[in-house]
Amino acid sequence: MLLDVNNLTVDFTTHSGTVAAVQGVSFAVDTGEAVGIVGESGSGKSQSVLALMGLLPDNARVSGSARLAAGNEQGPIELIGAPARRLRSVRGARVAMIFQDPMTALNPHLRIGTQMTELLRRHLKTSRREATERAVAMLEAVRIPQAGQRLKAYPHQLSGGMRQRVMIAMALSCEPALLIADEPTTALDVTVQDEILETIAELRQQTRTALLLITHDLGVVAGQCARTVVMQHGGVVEQGTTEQIFTRPAAAYTRDLLAAIPRL
Amino acid sequence: MTAAVWRKQRALRAASGNSLGRDAWRRLAANKAAMGSLAVLGAITLAVIIGPWLSPYDYFSQDYDAIWQAPSLANGHWFGTDQVGRDLLARTLAGGRISLMVGIVTTLVSLVIGVSYGAVAGFVGGKTDALMMRAVDILYSLPFMFFVILLVVFFGRNLFLLFAAIGAVSWLDMARIVRGQTLAIKSQPYIEAARMAGAGTTRIIARHVVPNLAGIVVVYVTLTIPQVILFESFLSYLGLGVQPPATSWGALINDGTGEMSIAPWLVLIPSVFLAVTLFCFNFIGDGLRDALDPKDR
Amino acid sequence: MLAFTLKRLAGVVPTLFILLTATFLLVHLAPGSPLDGDRPMPAEIRANLEAKYHLNEPLIQQYGRYLLNIAQLDFGASYQYKDTSVNDLIATGFPVSLAVGGFSLLFALVIGIPLGIIAAVRQNKIADYLAMGGSLAGISVPNFVLGPLMILAFAVYNDWLPAGGLGGWQNYVMPVLALGTMYLAYVTRLMRASTIEVLRSPFIRTARAKGLSEMRVFVVHVLPAALLPVVSFLGPGAAAVLTGSVVVEQIFGIPGLGRFFVTAALNRDYTLVLGITLFYGIIIILFNLVVDVLYGWLDPRVAYR
């Protein structure tokens, strides 16, 4: 098992009291496997993965367990409550993330090259030149034309789809064991969405990277994920193989979601 | 003074009329610093308005038998007297009248200019907008305080010129803010909906744009008043603002600075009044902004 | 980048033109002539003086002469100090004002930026409340209040610092504090607000998700973006500091340009008031240009537009 999440709970302390965002969520991801987490906005799906990565704001309280296989002889790493230093060595290296809006997820003040190489140099401890070469190779792998020149570009000089490709190239550049994609296609044009999903699938096949795909769209999960977790109101409604979820949904909520998928 | 703030506050509530307005009001009411400031400001305003009627002294009569009296309850000069025996309490209240009046009247001048200018630029858009905002940019980069002094020097020192001169330069911020907000409102779907429903431009501006501007305008009004009071004090401190026998807090501080080593209360008391007033306005402005836009806190 | 700089440079021209025309028209719209004194002047002397200051020429010719003189950076002679040109007075006074203003701005930036960052990082904690309360107080205490109070405390009641004049570095302490405190407060608030906003932006979450050290996240990702509002404040900030130096020079008896300006204004010395307004106008416009170009250089999105 690559990632084993057990009884994960997230509470936010706000002015008007405590808000329970995630209430005892459990799921698992196997090596190289693709798992989808589906639910409407506010169902706690994004908060769950951000909690794993230790990326929630200071007013969040996280409990439960999330064990990540270390990828070497050592036993699994407990992510919840792990020291910041430990988490930082996991982020970007063992587990990478891409986000919903590539417009704002890339730093507008830095060149693409700088943003890609700082990650490579941090985790792979490579020289500047090796990092640049690797960055170009990754950009080519996500089919960005004239990759060498793109390194000098700023994010605003690229199209939305192009930016998300850069995010994917960056996320996979350190060969993580798990890629977490949080609504990776929601902010993009419909025509670009499929290309992005294809790119992810293609690269995953080469690297055997596991995928945790978070989306509100069951249709996206259908094409990508072997297993699906359905979430609502901070809890898991049901989980199983994607086929099972589609053909024999157990929960009424899942049936509602299925009914909402447009059919041609 | 405070009445104006309260009125605007009610206007804002009435204008939005929805839970957002009420929420903002509740958040402001929960802000102890802002409510305390409102109370202090109310007290100062009340004192400035009715104080001169109750005071046994006026602000200009000299009394050479009672010069440089230190503040005391015993001799009847609670704030002491100056080098020609004028009662400082009476002078502080009279000065406060001028300072607050300049602050409010001038802010109203800048409000009218700024809101209409900004709303027109934002709503009309296109080339007109670009041209109008370019003009604001140009005015922005001029050293306006020197210009005001230049005006005062050339056209003589009088209160009306002061209103006009400071008002003419302090509308720029308001125009920028209102224009930005109008642009944002204009692109909202409900404006498009109103247009489709056949509402004319005037009606859209009156029914949809103006009410939605109310919040940001109230915040900027509360932040512009202290700025204007500061400008006036600045000019009066230099001897270029209100002229004797009239006085303002800035003029009193200027007078007091000369007598500082003999009679420190002459500079301390008006300074405290000016600083506390500015502080209260700033606190209320901050509180209002936080109340209307709670994400910042 | 070069095209951007040139475009900004071209943008300065109308601003300068408006500054010059507005001041010229003001002078000529003003009631009374600078030659009107307390006593009536014999017609002959008056005519001579009018000829000397070219007041007898048609308006358009005077305007041409005015533009020509300013193009040569010649602001004419002071009405009051008969033998001194406005240029000489500027040359004597400006370096002094520049030192006081420059140190004040530096003081505001060097203390305000770190203070704002601390307040932002410790948002809604004690340090934040102290910094915010303090800066609100700083904004509310004008320099002409702070100045006299400091003189009382440090020069009258205690003999720690000289009350005025110019001599050693001690003479600069109180003026710089009096002038710089308000901008320190502004910079602190600005820096706090922009740091909080940047810390909330998604690209910072991306940087953290990359496993970068908190130090690198802050220095490389947060700081440059958070400093931008402070950079754009430099333009109006510098103008405000120059304006404020007028008062501070008055309080501390510093022989700077601001003090000349007030004396000239009180004595209705037209040419000197006009000359200093023009000089400061040009300085501020040019400074704004530099800040604009700097901003475009720091924020790649601006120059691209």
How many CB atoms are located within 10 Å of the residue B285 CB? 24
Q: What's the pLDDT at A35?
A: 93
Tell whether the model's pLDDT for residue A263 goes beyond 70: no
Distance CA C301, CA B236 (A): 44
A203, A201, A206: which is closest to A220 by C-alpha? A201
Q: What's the pLDDT at B21?
A: 62
Query: pLDDT over 70 for what percent of chain A?
Result: 98
Q: Could you tell me which chains touch chain B, where touching means 3 or more CB pairs under 8 A?
A: C
Helix (H) or strand (E) holding B4: helix B2-16
> Which one of C202, C211, C213 has the shortest CB-CB distance to A90?
C211
Q: Is the dihedral of CA C105, C106, C111, C115 positive or negative?
A: positive
Q: Exposed/middle/buried for C92, CB within 10 Å: 0-12, 13-18, 19+?
A: middle
pLDDT digits (tens, 9 = 90+) for C207-245: 999 989 889 999 999 998 999 889 888 887 888 888 888
Three-state DSSP class for A23?
A: strand
Distance CA B69, CA C246 (A): 32
**Residues of chain B falling short of pLDDT 50:** 1-20, 296-297
Minimal CA separation from C19 to chain A, in Å: 35
Distance CA C186, CA C235 (A): 13
- A113 domain residue, yes or no: no
Instruction: Output the average pLDDT for chain A.
Output: 87
- A154 domain residue, yes or no: no
Q: What's the pLDDT at B10?
A: 40
- The backbone torsions φ and ψ at residue A124, rounded to the nearest 5 degrees and listed phi first, read -95, -5
More confident residue, A168 or B31: A168
How many CB atoms are located within 10 Å of the residue C10 CB? 9
**Which pLDDT tens digits describe chain C residue by residue (305 residues)?**
677 778 878 878 888 888 888 877 877 776 655 556 556 667 777 777 777 666 667 778 878 887 887 777 777 777 666 677 888 888 888 888 898 999 999 999 999 999 999 998 888 788 888 888 888 888 888 888 888 888 888 877 887 777 777 777 778 888 999 999 989 998 998 999 899 889 988 999 999 999 898 899 999 999 989 998 898 888 878 888 888 888 888 888 888 888 888 888 877 777 788 888 888 888 888 888 888 888 887 887 776 54
Minimal CA separation from B75 to chain C, in Å: 26
Measured between CB atoms, does A97 come within 8 Å of chain C? Answer: yes
B259, closest residue in chain C (CA to CA): C148
> Which one of C136, C137, C268 has the shortest CB-CB distance to B286?
C136
Q: What's the pLDDT at C34?
A: 56
Q: Could you tell me which chains touch chain A, where touching means 3 or more CB pairs under 8 A?
A: C
The answer to whether C151 contacts B260, with C-beta atoms less than 8 Å apart, is: yes
What residue segments make up the domains of chain C, in order of their start? 86-267
Measured between CB atoms, does A122 come within 8 Å of chain C? Answer: yes
The answer to whether C156 contacts B261, with C-beta atoms less than 8 Å apart, is: yes
Task: Give me the number of domains chain A comprises.
Answer: 1
Q: Could you tell me which chains touch chain C, where touching means 3 or more CB pairs under 8 A?
A: A, B
Minimal CA separation from B102 to chain C, in Å: 17
Measured between CB atoms, does C214 come within 8 Å of chain A? Answer: yes
Residue bearing tokens 């009180």: C266
- A214 domain residue, yes or no: yes
Question: Which CATH number characterizes residue A14's domain?
Answer: 3.40.50.300
Q: How many Cα atoms within 13 Å fall on the side-chain side of residue B2? A: 19
The answer to whether B138 contacts C14, with C-beta atoms less than 8 Å apart, is: yes
Question: Which of C128, C132, C145 would you mutate first to test chain B, the one with the most B CBs within 10 A?
Answer: C145
More confident residue, A219 or A111: A111
Q: What's the pLDDT at B85?
A: 67
Q: What is the DSSP string of C218-271?
A: IIIIIHHHHHHHHHHHHHHHHHHHHHHHHHHHHHHT--SHHHHHHHHHHTT-HH
Tell whether the model's pLDDT for residue A216 goes beyond 50: yes
The answer to whether A88 contacts C212, with C-beta atoms less than 8 Å apart, is: yes
Chain A neighbors of C225, CB-CB under 8 A = 107-109
Measured between CB atoms, does C273 come within 8 Å of chain B? Answer: yes
Task: Please say whether the beta carbons of B161 and B243 come within 8 A.
Answer: no
CA B216 to chain centre: 15
Q: Exposed/middle/buried for B19, CB within 10 Å: 0-12, 13-18, 19+?
A: exposed
Average pLDDT over residues A62-78: 84
Task: Please say whether the beta carbons of C23 and C17 come within 8 A.
Answer: no
- What range defines the domain where residue A14 resides? 3-100+177-259
Chain A neighbors of C219, CB-CB under 8 A = none
| ipTM of this complex | 0.89
Amino acid residing at A116: M
Distance CA B187, CA B212 (A): 13
Q: What's the pLDDT at C37?
A: 56
Amino acid residing at B213: L
Q: Which two tokens stand for residue B167?
A: 């008002």
Distance CA C55, CA C33 (A): 9
C86-267: which CATH architecture? Orthogonal Bundle (1.10)
> Which one of A105, A154, A167 has the shortest CB-CB distance to C300?
A154
